[in-house]
Copies of this chain bind each other. A is one copy, B any other.
């Protein structure tokens, strides 16, 4: 039994320095691969090599490395020589083999591929040819398929023969051409009389996905119908592979990260310990977009220099109108983006959603407007200033924030882009600009009362 518990990190480092590989192996050998993998995160290069060798010699390296977050793999594989990486890939499950290959730089990839036997090479190439983000790229070919006229007992014998499968939830039934015709939940197999045929107990015409289906859509299918695995078929309906519920959990986590990240202009690979240069390179284009949206706001302020020079106290309240509007817009955009991601919002009900969000923002703007109007009016002893502020709040937080926050993600989706893409930067840019326009515009109209 694998002990599922964190391994004492300092002991392992100490042992890697002083003990024989055998002793290290005895110490960590009973731990779950997911726990052993965590050790790699904080080791230096020499220690990574040592730990890898310990695992490799006991044929645990592939099982362990596949548990690592994918962004850590390139740095670890870079420390291992080609020959060992090749053998790692041969020993790995097919889907993990692809993950490892994907983590190698282009020219090294070819070198390592050349070390594989032709059969494995072909299998890897087939999967690697599917575009990133499709289920074909993610599936495992490690499944069990039998003909419809196989019996329950025959199936059980096959399972016994086959030995361990990476994950085994359903038995797949395929016809002579390899076409998927049904699935047998393993529970049904357990209780079936030995002579019963698979065709008599299978679920015919099961839920399946095309090899080119988007990972996110496949994950949604698995979650919606509470499946443990989803069969993946080619255009001819032939069973090519499966994706399992643990893959789906990874996809869902990734997609959530992506949503949060895209809103504020972050690339998915930009993680907490990504090297500084890489993070900078990925964030810089978004910073430039941000400079542009901020310049829009700046140029609007520039239009009102005359009014501001006359009534300098207005400057004090500019950040309030812009800041509160920006947050209102980001709130609205977040609600909309999440609803789209969870499949709760379609274009058909978009109008209803926009009206609702604008209504919420108007109510909040009235409340916030009254508060800021009273506070500013008392502070500067000028009731008109309070009214101008309240008016600007209503226009910016009430109308613009609700509208832009709801419409921008929907517009991005209509353009076939990710609804979250840069939306935070865009909506705050818009509410900054419109906030200044409405506040300074109203102030200019009523300047006679404000001086």
Report B-chain residues with C-beta under 8 Å of the C-beta of A187.
159, 165, 168, 186
Decide yes or no whether A259 CB sits under 8 A from chain B. Answer: yes
Decide yes or no whether A270 CB sits under 8 A from chain B. Answer: yes
Interface of A: prevailing SS: helix
A353 → chain B, closest Cβ, in Å? 5
Q: Which of A73-81, A119-127, A129-137, A322-330 contacts B (4 or more CB under 8 A)?
A: A322-330
Report B-chain residues with C-beta under 8 Å of the C-beta of A160.
191
Decide yes or no whether A342 CB sits under 8 A from chain B. Answer: yes
Decide yes or no whether A442 CB sits under 8 A from chain B. Answer: no
Chain A 181-210 per-residue mask, 1 if CB under 8 angstroms from chain B, else 0: 000001101110000000000011111000
The residue among A190, A266, A352 with the most chain B CB atoms within 10 A of its own CB is A190
Chain A 415-446 per-residue mask, 1 if CB under 8 angstroms from chain B, else 0: 00000000011001100100010000000000
5 A-B pairs whose Cβ atoms sit less than 8 Å apart in the complex: A32-B225, A249-B252, A260-B260, A301-B318, A319-B432
Q: Which of A103-111, A232-240, A275-283 contacts B (4 or more CB under 8 A)?
A: A275-283
Q: A168-B187, A323-B432, A436-B319 known; A272 and B363 CB under 8 Å?
A: no
**Are the CB atoms of A319 and B316 closer together than 8 Å?**
no
Total residues of chain A contacting the partner, CB 8 A: 116
A307 → chain B, closest Cβ, in Å? 10
A119 → chain B, closest Cβ, in Å? 27
Give chain A interface residues in 14-71, CB to chain B under 8 Å: 32, 34, 42, 69
Q: A334-B264, A344-B69 known; A312 and B308 CB under 8 Å?
A: yes
Closest residue on chain B to residue A304 by CB atoms: B315
Q: A189-B190, A283-B331 known; A224 and B276 CB under 8 Å?
A: no
**Are the CB atoms of B276 and A356 closer together than 8 Å?**
yes
Decide yes or no whether A261 CB sits under 8 A from chain B. Answer: yes
Closest residue on chain B to residue A363 by CB atoms: B280
Q: Which of A85-93, A94-102, A290-298 contacts B (4 or more CB under 8 A)?
A: A290-298
**Are the CB atoms of A298 and B316 closer together than 8 Å?**
yes
Decide yes or no whether A313 CB sits under 8 A from chain B. Answer: yes
Tell me, in angstroms, the Cα distance from A335 to B339 when the chains sit together.
Answer: 22
Chain A 334-368 per-residue mask, 1 if CB under 8 angstroms from chain B, else 0: 11111100101100010011001101100110011
Q: A298-B319, A309-B312, A323-B290 known; A272 and B336 CB under 8 Å?
A: yes
Report B-chain residues with C-beta under 8 Å of the C-beta of A186.
186-187, 190
